[in-house]
Structure 1
Amino acid sequence: MSDAELDYSSEYEDYQDDVEFDDDMADLTSEAGSVSDSGFSPFGTSTPASASAGGQGILSSASSSAAKGKGRASIGGEDLYGQVEYKVLSLKQLEEEQRRAIEYVEDMLKLKPESAATLLRYFNWKKEKLIEAYMEDAEVTLEKAGIREGGAQPRLKRVRGFVCDVCYDNETKETLALTCDHRFCKACYCHYLTSKIIDEGESRRIECMGKDCHVIVDEKTVELLVPPDILDRYRLLLNRTYVDDNPRMRWCPAPNCEFAVSCAVAPRSLDVTIPTVQCACGHIFCFGCQLDGDHRPCCCPIVKRWMKKCKDDSETSNWISANTKECTKCHSTIEKNGGCNHMTCKKCKWEFCWVCMGPWSEHGTSWYNCSRYEEKADNYKDAQSKSRAALERYLHYYNRFSNHEQSIRLEADLYVRTEKKMEELQEQSTLSWIEVQFLAKAVETLGKVRTVLKWTYAMAFYLEKNNFTQMFEDNQNDLEQAVESLSELLERPLEEDKIAELRQQTTDKTVYVAKRCKVLLDDTLRGYEEEPPRWIWQEPIKF
């Protein structure tokens, strides 16, 4: 064990007594997603539910003083995850926000609530822009929004001798006309609205049935015409448009989640800000590019460019599908079936690194450079040679990005094996269930830190080579070595006489890995905020 790791072992002494860490440990290896005093978490992707093994499986946000980094993201209050503040809003809170905005416009412009709501939806809930346009020319503004003031309030009415222009039924029955006075029977209007709401998913801009008439059917009128189930769907769609029309709001992309997230990050700042947010359901995503999970330390424009490049079949189709490699000594085909990159050929017992295919004996020394791409001298003879060198450089970073992605998937199976190993530990020692949680925490930490490492390679691919990039790759290299050491520890079989040693090594290494991850994220995110920005890209980036 290194001296650096020994420094952290004392910080972990309370771990065995409780699954959740106290506040002093929040900046090291706290429950997934908790935020350090510096303002961001070293981790950012959720893990399989089975991984919790008695601990909390849901990521927490952190600015709530009551929770201080523990529990789920609060609803309605300001939260902090990473670099940005945000709010998680329920459907009820969304309706309340709309109600307050409607009351404000209604009172300011002395309009009916239905007209105020229609105007707000037309102006995408931008109150200042609405009021400015209304004060400049009220009549034109109302007409553009589909509002006709002065007409009779829409209501159901029986008109003797009326013939509906849609069904041509002349029986006396309930009819309805908007303020434009285009009258149709209730049955036809109900069918029309149902078709618009259910088949077309329309809600805010449903127009009058009259030819070339653009008067909007408001919510109060819809209430008069459609059955309760259609009305519920209509109101749900209205809520959705409230979020969809607001550039500072996003729906949580998790399946069946009905929460929305409000975040005031400007699109023009996405090259220096990474707006990672966490919904109250526990799901983490990027508010900027809407990618699931946490892609720190990579900013959104680089993520978008990298993902597009990885989908380019001309460069990657033959490599993405390659799940096997040959032993560098006996050339036997080997399939990777675990997260650790320390491979041993079953045929010739040769130990090598899965990433660079070099001898494993050379890894872990002061000149370990598996994660760094060494630039070759620019002495290419022709365009073909340059193209080949560019592809070689891309594949260096892509293979490491892909390798961590594969390791994360494989380590999902490790959660199940870890639970069995924890049961074995209890049987073979005097440790309680709480005391064997160090294995579950180690696996959980490993998956999250691999996600961070994965995105460091995408970032490094686009960085200009300079001293800052060198320091970034040094941090990346340190974290890579620590992760592989922890991964190898978790793959070890249990030996009854070495349980205490395994426990100490694993807990120390888990804390060390989390600490190195935090150092990398701290330094990288600070580089975005510096003026001028520390990170120089090979090509200008725009979102």
Structure 2
Amino acid sequence: MDQDFDAGFSGEEYDTDEDCASEDDGIEVAQADAADAESSPSSDCQVLAPEQLSTELNKIAAETSAIVGLSPQLCRIALHHLRWSKEILLEKYYENESPQQFFKKFDRDFPLDLNYVVQALPPRSGTCLICYDQKMLTGLSCGHLYCLACWHSYLSTRFHEYPDPFVLCPEPKCKQVVGDEIAMKLLTNEADKRFYQRVLINSFVECNKLLKWCPAPNCDKVIKVSHPECRAVTCDCECTFCFKCSNEWHEPIDCELFHPECRAVTCDCECTFCFKCSNEWHEPIDCELLSKWIKKCSDDSETSNWLNANTKDCPKCHVTIEKDGGCNHMTYCPKCHVTIEKDGGCNHMTCRSQTCRFEFCWTCLGPWQPHGSGWYACNRFDDKAAKDARSQQENSRAALQRYLHYYNRFANHQNSLKFENRLMEQIKIKVDQMQAQSFSWIETQFLIKSVQVLNKCRRTLMYTYAFAFYLQPNNITSIFEDNQRDLELATEQLSEVLEREINPESDDLVVLKQKVQDKCHYVDTRRQVLLKHCQEGLERNQWIFRTAG
């Protein structure tokens, strides 16, 4: 049976700064396909449009109105101040001797007629109390009159600067509340009306820990997650605790909310993000370490990061060479020193000089051949220099080199993701060409899916380097680095296949499809193995993280 959307809010006081906690639920949770392994992080979430939440707000206000006899508009105002909890409103309402005493605690003026609807007075001619022009004026029951332009300017400014959906009359010291219905009438353009609707809905979203706005640009959807049941048990010693998580009983907050965990959710706009921190999905690193990593990268970007990202030492003579125009896709061939431009996501580079044709790794500038062998170690940081360091200067330099090792690889996969976003557009053109040559839609989708798999692996690899930066070396980290190496090598091989020229007329597409699908399956398997190992290490407390850095 569905619960009411507002059920389960906690709170004992009227203080609007207290934490809000809801286990709500008046909106049915859509059932995701459990067989889809990739969608499992979002299998219990629902994507909601603002209209659905607006309907739910009005439903809660109407239900409350039917019980206490207030107008729905006054109920919305009271619910806003009580974190949209119908239960708390009813409890506090009936604790007071009169409705007027109940409303006085909000430090707002409410009429004695509790069925009163906040509305504007009929327009009349007069002097506006803000601009002092002779215009048609309107106002609330308090009698303070302003022109429509000043009303709009006042409300628009207040809603943008102080996102409270129920503001007061512009007159200083006046406590008359501007209701939501009259606010919509006094706002004169559609953009401000839409913004106000979001402010009103946001007051509800922020009071429910199961709801969160999608962080994608220009997306107005809200993500709602469900949660498993938990129950209270009481020991003979009279200690009451949660049977599921063994903590003290935390009703009405469920275990996942009592111990918030980062998890992936996906909006209808295809943006996948972390429900806890609202950054893009960042497994295997957790939100706290990711926050430290982002801050460190930001703090160091003006000095060593900039120099390292925009210059390279010649592998032969060690002269520092600045990349042309500060771009991130220029380097020099380690063998013949001809300028090389990186125009794709693949890190397997081949010098275009016909007299050289040297194959090397963009990341470490070493020969490419070892990257396909058993002793590939491009992803590993050599700690020997740090162990040999004696002076403070040498230790600082070793620490910097260690950080740059991981930052360079993090940034390199980040840049490759940008290249591969362009690769998706190129692949879509190829798909259109293939469909124009009698290939069916279903026969060409393997290319689209392969780029999506490639992007997932790139993003996972990117965050493994932030994760690895904070790891203390032990036997388990060696396994992690092996898994990271295998995924990185497989990802580069898939990238190389996808970036090669595909000619629908001359290529055997059956062979190409089999090759791409095999590599996709292998690279995704390596990704799952790496993530599973990281998760098992967390569950078994095998990872030891550096506190400094």
Check whether TM > 0.5: yes
Q: 1:118 maps to what in 2?
A: 77
State the Cα deviation string for residues 365-400 of structure 1 (Å, max 9, x = none): 222111122322623211111111111111111111
The residue aligned with 1:309 is: 296
- Name the structure 2 match of 1:356: 364
Q: CA deviation at 1:332?
A: 2.9
Quote the residue 2:420 is aligned against.
411
Report the 3-state secondary structure (helix = DSSP H, G, I; strand = E; otherwise coil) of the residue aligned with 2:532: helix
- Residue 394 (structure 1) aligns with: 403
Listed as ranges, the matches of 1:252-267 within 5 Å are: 252-263=214-225
DSSP 3-state at the match of 1:378: helix
Residue 387 of structure 2: SS of its match in structure 1? coil
Alpha-carbon displacement from aligned partner over 1:165-203 (angstroms, at most 9, x marks no partner):
6688999x986543xxx3134xx1644532233233255
Shift of 1:92: 1.8
Look up the match of 1:435: 443
**90-99 or 151-160: which moved more?**
151-160
Deviation at 1:118, TM superposition (A): 1.0
* 2:65 corresponds to which of 96, 106, 126: 106
Displacement of 1:458: 0.9
> Contact 1:364–1:481 (CA<8 Å) still a contact in 2?
yes
1:33 equivalent in structure 2: none
CA gap 1:466/1:126 in 2 versus in 1, 3 angstroms: farther
Amino acid at match of 1:318: L
Q: Which residue of 2 aligns with 1:514?
A: 524
Q: Kindly tell me: are residues 493 and 203 of structure 1, through their superposed partners in 2, closer, same or farther at Cα, counting changes over 3 Å?
A: closer
Query: Matches of 2:120 and 2:295 in 1, distance apart?
Result: 55
Percent identity between the two aligned chains: 36
- Paired with 2:124 and 2:510, the residues of 1 have a C-alpha distance of 92
What are the within-5 Å matches in structure 2 for residues 158-173 of structure 1? Answer: none
Query: Given the superposition, is the C-alpha separation of residues 334 and 176 from structure 1 closer, same or farther in structure 2, using an over 3 Å criterion?
Result: closer
Within 5 Å, give how 1:56-95 maps onto structure 2. 65=31, 81-82=40-41, 85-95=44-54
Q: Which deviates the most, 190-199 or 362-371?
A: 190-199
* Cα drift, residue 151 of structure 1: 2.8
Q: 1:226 to 1:426 in 2, by over 3 A?
A: closer
Residue of structure 1 aligned with 2:265, choices 272, 277, 291: 277
SS in 1 for 2:388: coil
Q: Give the match for residue 337 of structure 1.
A: 343
Change (3 A) 1:144 1:84: farther
Counterparts of 1:535 and 1:393, CA distance in 2: 19
Report the Cα distance in structure 1 between the residues aligned to 2:219 and 2:418, rounded to whole angstroms.
Answer: 24
Match of 1:401, SS state, is helix
Q: Residues 140, 358 of structure 1: CA spacing in aligned structure 2 closer, same or farther, 3 A cutoff?
A: farther
Q: What corresponds to 1:196 in structure 2?
A: 154
Contact 1:134–1:141, Cα closer than 8 Å, also in 2: yes
Deviations 1:310-360 (Å, cap 9, x if unpaired)? 122233121233433332222333222222222222232222111222221
Matched residue, 1:7: none
2:143 corresponds to which residue? 183
Q: Residue 534 of structure 2 corresponds to which residue in structure 1?
A: 524
Which residue matches 1:45?
A: none
Q: Residue 305 of structure 2 aligns to which amino acid in structure 1? A: T
Distance 1:352 1:431, change over 3 A: same
Q: Which amino acid aligns with 1:255?
A: P
Counterpart among 487, 509, 514 of residue 495 in structure 2: 487
Match of 2:176 in 1: 215
- Which digits, 9 at most, give the CA deviation of each residue in 1:121-142, with x for residues without a partner? 1233244555555555576652
Structure 2: state its 5+ residue gaps.
Answer: 1-28, 228-255, 312-327
The whole-number CA distance in structure 2 between the counterparts of 1:159 and 1:427 is: 64
Q: Which moved more, 1:304-313 or 1:239-248?
A: 239-248
Task: Please point out which of 199, 219, 227 is paired with 1:237.
Answer: 199
* DSSP-derived class of the 2:151 partner: helix
Are residues 166 and 406 of structure 1, via their aligned partners in 2, closer, same or farther at CA, if it must alter by over 3 Å?
Answer: closer
The answer to whether the 8 Å contact 2:487/2:526 transfers is yes
**Residue from 213, 216, 222 that aligns with 1:251:** 213
Distance apart, 1:509 and its partner CA:
1.0
Deviation at 1:420, TM superposition (A): 5.7
Give yes or no for contact 1:263–1:287 (8 Å, CA) kept in 2: no
Counterpart amino acid of 2:423? L
| Cα distance per residue 1:251-298 (max 9 Å; x no partner) | 22333322112347967745xx3322111232222222222x322222
For residues 313-324 of structure 1, the aligned pairs below 5 Å read: 313-322=302-311, 323=328, 324=330
> Once the 2 structures are TM-superposed, how far is the Cα of residue 513 of structure 1 from its aligned partner?
0.9
On the 8 A contact 1:155/1:224 being kept in 2, the answer is no
Per the alignment, in what secondary structure is the counterpart of residue 165 of structure 2?
Answer: coil
User: Distance between the aligned counterparts of 1:457 and 1:517, measured in 2?
Assistant: 14
Q: Distance in 1 between matches of 2:155 and 2:510?
A: 64
Select 1:380's aligned residue among 379, 389, 394: 389
Q: Residue 465 of structure 1 corresponds to which residue in structure 2?
A: 473
Secondary structure, counterpart of 1:465 in structure 2: coil
In the aligned structure 2, how far is the partner of 1:158 from the partner of 1:342? 74
SS at match of 1:505: helix
CA positional deviation for 1:144: 3.8
Deviation track 1:80-113 (CA, whole Å, cap 9, x = no partner) reads 6527843321122111221233234435554332
> Does structure 2 retain, via aligned residues, the 8 Å contact 1:84–1:275?
no
Provide the secondary structure at the position in 2 that maps to 1:325. strand
Note the C-alpha offset of 1:436: 4.5
Q: 2:514, 2:400 → 1: CA distance?
A: 44
- Amino acid paired to 2:447: L
**How far, CA to CA, are the matches of 1:232 and 1:487 in structure 2?**
43
Residue 504 (structure 1) aligns with: 514
Change (3 A) 1:268 1:524: farther
Report the Cα offset of residue 455 of structure 1.
0.9
Q: Is the 8 A contact 1:119 1:130 kept in 2?
A: yes
1:145 partner SS: coil
Structure 2 CA distance for partners of 1:155 and 1:120, relative to 1, 3 Å: closer
Alignment CA distance shift 1:224-1:342 (3 Å): closer
SS in 1 for 2:292: helix
* Rounded Cα–Cα distance in structure 1 between residues aligned with 2:500 and 2:387: 44
Give the SS at the match of 1:334.
strand
Code of the residue aligned with 1:197 in structure 2: it is: L
**1:412 deviation in Å?**
2.6
SS at match of 1:82: helix
Contact 2:31 2:44 in 1 (8 A): no
Match of 2:26 in 1: none
Judge conservation of contact 1:203–1:234 (CA < 8 Å) in 2.
no
| Residue 290 of structure 1 pairs with residue 278 of structure 2 | yes
Corresponding position: 1:535 with 2:523: no
One-letter code aligned to 2:310? S
The residue type paired with residue 405 of structure 1 is Q
Larger relative contact order (CA 8 Å, sep ≥ 6): 1
CA shift, 1:503, in A, is 3.7
